[in-house]
Structure 1
Amino acid sequence: MLHVAEAARVSVATVSAYINGTTTVSQELSGRIEQAIREIGYKRNAIARSLKLGTTRTIGLTVPHITNPFFTDVVSVIQQAFDRAGYAVMLCCTDEDLNNQDEQIRLLLDRMVDGLIIARVGDGAYLKETVERANVPVVLVDREVDGVDSDRVVLDNHQAVFEAITYLLELGHRRIGYITGAFNITPMRDRMTGYHEALLNAGVAFDQSLVRSGDLHEADGYTAAMQLLSLHDRPTAIFSANNPMVVGAMKAIRDLGLSCPEDVSVICFDDFPWADVFNPQLTTIAQPVQAIGEQTASLLLDRLNGNREAPSRRLVLKGRLMVRNSCRPVQALTSVPTVVAASST
């Protein structure tokens, strides 16, 4: 730092103030210091600066699936928000593995991140303890943890699925297959509740044989749709609880020699860029990913800027049914005999 000060013809204290942002440095002096830094090749010691200031200007972010377009879009919005605020984001993908999540959160805390954003997986017992003991603010996104007193941003999953299933019921469908993820995460539980309530509201009995669960991957959607469409009294419509599984479901429909929507109508949770270039264009539930990402970043930045003692906040956003052409009235469906599951290739 002394060499920079000498080259810029300023004091070491002025260079320190500029680099650490502790006091305002005039535009003229800032320009001279930056030029000296470039000429000398001075490297800022981020670790030393963090120890001195007690902040790393870094945020930890964990998501279950970076390949899921929903999480990809939310991460992008969060990243942009923290870029503007002068923070770096350390991203970890847990792949829906509880042990991975626990290890990654420990790693992020060891790296002295200033705050955490978590889309959690699995049982919330360890995470509850971690959030309570962490000496940094935490915001939960998409998925809540029972008993955790933390800021969170979630969707009204119950209402979104209620509206989607009601739409199918209004088209005359009564046997609606439902492909879900594990119920140890709150969105899956809330979405199933919406499915139940829509059926009840229409006077349609719940049939457990129409429900299949998986791990939210494309292969799970394929297997589930194969099973549903091989039933003696197969469903006339299928609802998928996320978009990777709907891709698998559409492949199963194709492999069984069926057509959508001629033989089976399809709706999925989460809109994605290529939903309207599918053939047919997929009817989906669109989450407001821009608002989810912005609100999540805003809550954490508010805590980082000093609002640490305010009560926790729960922001609930609304989904939107995007009606395209993957659904049709049940009376218009082609009469097709029950199919026998083909082997996967």
Structure 2
Amino acid sequence: MPTMADVARNAGVSVATVSHVLNGTRPVLPSTRQAVLDAVDALGYTPNTLARSLVTSRTRSIGLAVSAISNPYFTEILQGVEAAALAAGYSLLIADPHDDPAHERKVVQLLHERRVDGMIVAPSARPHDLVAYLGRHAVPAVFLDRVLPATEPVAGGTAPGQGLFDQVCAENAGPMADLTGHLAGLGHRRIGLVAGLPGLSTTEERIAGYRQGLAAAGLAFDQDLVVSGLSESAGAERATAALLALPAPPTALVTANNAMTIGALRTLRERNLAVPGGIALGCFDDFAWADLFSPRLTAIAQPSREIGARAVDVLLERLAEPGRPPRTVRLPCAFVHRTSCGCPELRDEAVGSPPAGTGGTTEPSTPLERGTAS
């Protein structure tokens, strides 16, 4: 097997120069760099990453702990993480915590034992042990999609939460307020919400946005119109059935993620309730086939791939500057206007181009979408 010394002899340079080219640790002349790369190709040289990690204490690997990888939303986030990591020369180790706090703590420890340089984690609804472990071992970490409160409850008191970690997520409250307000603007006075798993920041923020949308439309909040779908399809089927069983059922429905949209549609079909004729529908989370349904689904589109890529960028910045203060980065969503809300197609009134594969009209969903993000 060829060595770095063989590459150096073939290229006519020193071993140190080969190391600088392969590791990007010092600029070299373009002609020299090309000579080294040509020698690498000619000899079939493969860097010994294990040996390099023993010297540098870096493995150039990132651990990713994300639940429900089969969910299209997280699949797109994964694609964004993978592309950004690969572009930066990092490999990816992936684990599914299954939104179970005990399992979450276990898989994060296993990733840490694999000596990943840092981690990107979508925390569960009760991430107390996770936060304690990462803090105790000073693991560079970015929380993805779901953010932490300022403190986390632990035995005997509280522990620092978001103040310890970088976080990357989408805007939730503003876009949900826009979606709820849109339905209210169409004349709906009883708007049901199929909410997510209790305890997740995404759930709480989207409920807050729903309430904001009602208040802006002059509608009172009714707790009976909010039922948890537990962030999954089967739970949404039950939640939708419960809403339809109310003495005064909703005339419009908002689902708080794409998996719950599928569950809600299944229940509506079983009840022979046409959308939007029998009930209007708006969805938080767009997905590739949302425009293939009949009617086509009005949705809030999250920048999922961008969230994944940005999380990698933030983690690499953390690795380069460990003492930098933690920050939370929020990315804007887009309102994709289709027909399940009861509106006609608005293709001639498009404010912007829809995200790839969404097949609808997009509009800014929050002030951040209009370029005021910090």
Q: TM-score w.r.t. structure 1 length? A: 0.85
Which string of whole-angstrom CA distances, capped at 9 and with x for unpartnered residues, describes residues 163-222 of structure 1? 111111111111111111122111100111111222233332222222211321111111
TM-score (norm 2): 0.79
Letter of the 1:73 counterpart? E
Q: Which amino acid aligns with 2:332?
A: K
Asked if the contact 1:8/1:33 (under 8 Å) is kept, the reply is no
- Whether the 8 Å contact between 1:210 and 1:235 is mirrored in structure 2 is yes
Partner residue of 1:296 out of 306, 311, 321? 311
In 2, Cα distance between the equivalents of 1:6 and 1:203? Answer: 75
- In the other structure, the counterpart of 1:315 is 329
1:206 to 205, 221, 237: 221
Q: 1:114 aligns with which of 81, 92, 117?
A: 117
Change (3 A) 1:158 1:5: closer
Match of 1:252 in 2: 267
Q: 3-state SS of the aligned residue for 1:252?
A: helix
Q: 1:229 aligns with which of 230, 235, 244?
A: 244
User: Structure 1, unaligned stretches of length 5 or more?
Assistant: 330-345
Match of 1:58 in 2: 61
- Give the match's secondary structure for 2:227: strand
C-alpha contact (below 8 Å) 2:83/2:309 kept by paired residues? no
Contact 1:128–1:145 (8 Å) recurs in 2: no
Where does the alignment leave 5 or more consecutive residues of structure 2 unmatched? 150-160, 344-374
Counterpart CA distance in 1 for 2:272 and 2:168 is 41
Matched, 1:328 2:335: no
Of the candidates 190, 199, 202, which is equivalent to residue 175 of structure 1?
A: 190
Q: Percent identity at matched positions?
A: 36
- SS at 2:281 equivalent: strand
Q: Which moved more, 1:241-250 or 1:204-213?
A: 204-213
Distance 1:230 1:3 in 2: 71
The equivalences for 1:133-282 within 5 A come to 133-146=136-149, 147-149=161-163, 150-282=165-297
* Counterpart residue identity of residue 80, structure 2: V
- Tell me the secondary structure at the aligned position of residue 162 of structure 2: coil
Matched AA of 2:42: Q
Q: Per the alignment, in what secondary structure is the counterpart of residue 327 of structure 1?
A: coil
CA distance 1:107–1:247, change in 2 (3 Å): same
Distance in 2 of aligned mates of 1:326 and 1:64? 29
Quote the residue 1:18 is aligned against: 18
In structure 2, the residue corresponding to 1:272 is in which secondary structure?
Answer: coil
Equivalenced residue count is 324
CA distance in 1, matches of 2:7, 2:134: 47
Larger Rg: 1
Q: Shift of residue 151 of structure 1?
A: 1.3
Q: CA offsets per residue over residues 246-270 of structure 1, 9 Å max, x none?
A: 1111111111111100100111111
